[in-house]
Amino acid sequence: MISLPVYRFVRLLRIGYLLTLILWGLLLAFRSSPAAEAAWKYDLHPGDHLIYHYQFERSYRGEDAESRTRAVFNNHVIVVGETADRISVGFQRNRESSELLMYKEHGKDKLAEEMPKFRERTTKRSPRFSEAMEFNLSGEPLTQWEAVRETSGRLIVGIHEIEALPLRVPGIGESWQGANLLGIKFTLAGREKIHERNCDRIEGVDSSNTVHLRYWWCEGRGAIEKLEFEGEYEVPGGKASEVAEIQLLEERRGENIAQWMQTGEVRIAALQALLTSPWIRADAQTIEAGLKANDPRSQALALTYIFQRSAEQFSTEAIRSLSESSDPTVARLASLTTTPNGQNTDPQAAACSVRRREFPHQKIGTTVRLINDKKLGVFPYMMRVPAEYRPDRKSPLLIYLSGGAGLAIDGVNTAEDAVRSTDYLVLYPQAGTYWWTADARGRVDWLLDEALQEFNVDTNRVYIAGFSNGGTGALDFAELRPHRFAGVVSLMGAGTCNEQVAQGLKNLSDLSILFVHGDSDPRIPASCSRDTADRLKQLGMETSPLLQILKNREHDVTLQQDDGLSLPFLANLSRNPFPLKFTAHWEDMSFPRRYWIELLEKGSGPAEVEARAQNNRIEIKAHGVKRLRILLRSNLISGKEPLTVVINKKTAYQGKFEPNCKTFDDSSKQERDALLGYEQAIDLSAEH
């Protein structure tokens, strides 16, 4: 996985009739001629504190309804650390008010009826949001931006109080591509006075002319004076728009981390910056101020800092007292911080040892990241790294596929409240289309491999879930890679109402699966989930699928609106990567491996096998298969007795099981998973 690199960023694109944003691409930053003036630079140093007024409005206009909301924030930007080439900055946006300004259904005013629901949703959302970033002096981000923002929306993730400046001062009318998440092209539009300061007005627009950003860079300020933004995009059934205005109110100098830790205005921003920049050290007394704060978010971030470093230098008593907190995240982190570290190695195969791997440091939080692959192209995804994650500890991984156009940000906005109470790594891929297309399948597969490469994943606890389009996609991808997953959740997915899912249903027969559907779903009938569960039961699954039909629910079942069913279902599931028996089906050769059989050649139609291993005897029933490869491992076969392989009731192989540790090492690397590594491979013909 790669972070947002210097001078490179993502571009907003339209995709089909459901999608008007977020397929991001890399663009080169502006470079003007050598004769241009010296570059603009931020004049920000440790102890600096900027305060902004920030107003955000979101409107929706659809076929049956329209609404408009407004939120007002007091924003704090603090500079926590500095090196020769970077500054570490914390952002804290404190909500002062939130209003539902208008709500209509079928042209009738429903504001009074909707207001209590709006207030309930607002109350559930924290009034304080923080993120952190490292920048160079031109404001180009050096790590990943946070995807979960102070207010939900698709575009606001790309707007920040520090924007990348042009590398050289442009002339009026001159344009350049900016290092901005929304792929905006900027122009120096003119010069004007703001508060008696001489300011340059920069105007930007994206390639679709639906996103506009203006900001003002003023003489002697060393920071953005003012920023205005508006953008619109299509959503199912209508259009949404987002409007934001950010105005600098005050500059303070000479403050420090110890001061910031004493006030709720900026405490979580300071802690977030310390977590993002491990090269900044804070003493125990400073961090323990976060433990003592009457604020679960501060306590959780302080515990995360302690957990990521050496806990011995901090007060054990203060940490243990928080293990009884009413906040589940705080209690979990406190208990974890005072217990021994988990193991870093996979269980060993009997014959070959598993090599210890080193994993890179990761930014805590849910961030926007990029795929940049010659074959797949460039597109965004989002990744949640929980506070509990550390490179020397294994963590479970959940892949979550969104509905609609398959946008990663929609996945984030419908899952983060639910996964916040877990220790899961959460991968949010992006499709921009249906998940069961070849391109979308390829992206999910690429991202899963990269996640296993970059993160210390407990590969026996990898799960896949999705809603609507994503619920169908979760079943489809689990059919292609059943040996990767411990459990599957389909939330209002199409199941066997989708032809591709129906064709590969036998590949799900060894998985634990949960179906959740609303009984009044007008888009994908609940019968699709019901019929899929019934057909799986007919296959004689060892673990019968679970079906939950929610009463009086329409097409609105997501991970954080599933009546709390999905995450408890997944919590205790663990994979068996080399089962003694399984059934597999192939429509094509794009994903040839299923558990411990790899398809080498098939006939013109579908291919199927039923495989069983017992007492050093492997029996396979094969249909539509010309050649296959059997992948052997010590927990499947014993080396003490001869091995016999029977295909379609005829002996295809007799010989010894001869484990080879180089084969095991190579296959473990290829699969990014030592528990799928094999010690011997035998190629056999299935035609006799």
Supply the DSSP string of 124-191, one letter for each residue: HS-SEEEEEEEE-TT--BSSPPBSS-SS--SSGGG--SS-PPPSSBPPTT-EEE---TT--EEEEEEE
Is there a contact between 230 and 159 (Cβ–Cβ < 8 Å)? no
Query: Measuring CA to CA, which residue among 133, 24, 80 is closest to residue 367?
Result: 133
- Answer with the one of 337, 356, 379 that is the final residue of a domain: 337
Query: Measuring CA to CA, which residue among 393, 392, 403, 382 is closest to residue 451?
Result: 382
Is 12 a domain residue?
A: no
Identify whether residues 105 and 194 lie together within a single domain: yes
Confidence (pLDDT) at 152: 86
Confidence (pLDDT) at 561: 96
- What is the torsional sign of CA 640, 644, 645, 649? negative
Q: How far apart are CA 268 and CA 58, in angstroms?
A: 26
Identify whether residues 57 and 158 lie together within a single domain: yes
Identify whether residues 427 and 290 lie together within a single domain: no
Q: How far apart are CA 622 and CA 640, in angstroms?
A: 27
Identify whether residues 268 and 401 lie together within a single domain: no
Is 53 a domain residue?
A: yes
Is 517 a domain residue?
A: yes
Pairing of strands 49-62, 365-373: unpaired
Q: For residue 312, give both structure tokens.
A: 């011995």
Identify whether residues 423 and 555 lie together within a single domain: yes
Q: How far apart are CA 108 and CA 65, in angstroms?
A: 9
Identify whether residues 431 and 385 lie together within a single domain: yes
Identify whether residues 505 and 605 lie together within a single domain: no
134: CB partners within 8 A, 6+ apart = 86, 87, 88, 89, 141, 142, 143, 276, 277
DSSP state of 551: T
- What is the torsional sign of CA 299, 303, 304, 309? positive
Is 414 a domain residue?
A: yes
Pairing of strands 395-401, 425-428: parallel
Domain that holds residue 598: 581-685
593 backbone dihedrals φ, ψ, rounded to 5°: -90, 140
Q: How far apart are CA 147 and CA 403, in angstroms?
A: 18
Supply the DSSP string of 257-301, one letter for each residue: HHHHTT-TTTHHHHHHHHHH-TTS---HHHHHHHHHSS-HHHHHH
Identify whether residues 414 and 307 lie together within a single domain: no
Q: How far apart are CA 407 and CA 22, in angstroms?
A: 7
Task: Look up the pTM and report it.
Answer: 0.90
Query: Measuring CA to CA, which residue among 489, 545, 488, 497 is closest to residue 521?
Result: 497
Mean pLDDT for each 10-residue chunk of the chain (688 residues)?
A: 34 32 34 48 96 97 93 98 96 97 94 94 91 93 93 91 90 90 93 91 94 94 95 90 97 96 96 95 91 94 89 81 91 86 58 84 93 81 95 95 94 94 95 94 95 96 98 98 97 97 95 97 97 94 92 96 97 94 96 98 96 95 97 88 95 93 94 95 91
Confidence (pLDDT) at 471: 98
Query: Measuring CA to CA, which residue among 429, 446, 469 is closest to residue 591?
Result: 446
Is there a contact between 509 and 583 (Cβ–Cβ < 8 Å)? yes
Domain count, the chain: 4
Identify whether residues 393 and 289 lie together within a single domain: no
Confidence (pLDDT) at 379: 84
- Answer with the one of 321, 337, 353 that is the final residue of a domain: 337
Identify whether residues 245 and 281 lie together within a single domain: no
Confidence (pLDDT) at 349: 56
SS (H, E, C) 490-511: EECCCHHHCHHHHHCHHHHCCC
Q: How far apart are CA 181 and CA 191, in angstroms?
A: 25
Is 60 a domain residue?
A: yes
Q: How many Cβ atoms are within 10 Å of 635's Cβ, its own excluded?
A: 16
Q: How far apart are CA 393 and CA 386, in angstroms?
A: 12
Domain CATH number, residue 429: 3.40.50.1820
Confidence (pLDDT) at 237: 83
Confidence (pLDDT) at 541: 83
Q: Which one-letter amino acid corresponds to residue 91?
A: F
Identify whether residues 550 and 454 lie together within a single domain: yes
Identify whether residues 213 and 231 lie together within a single domain: yes
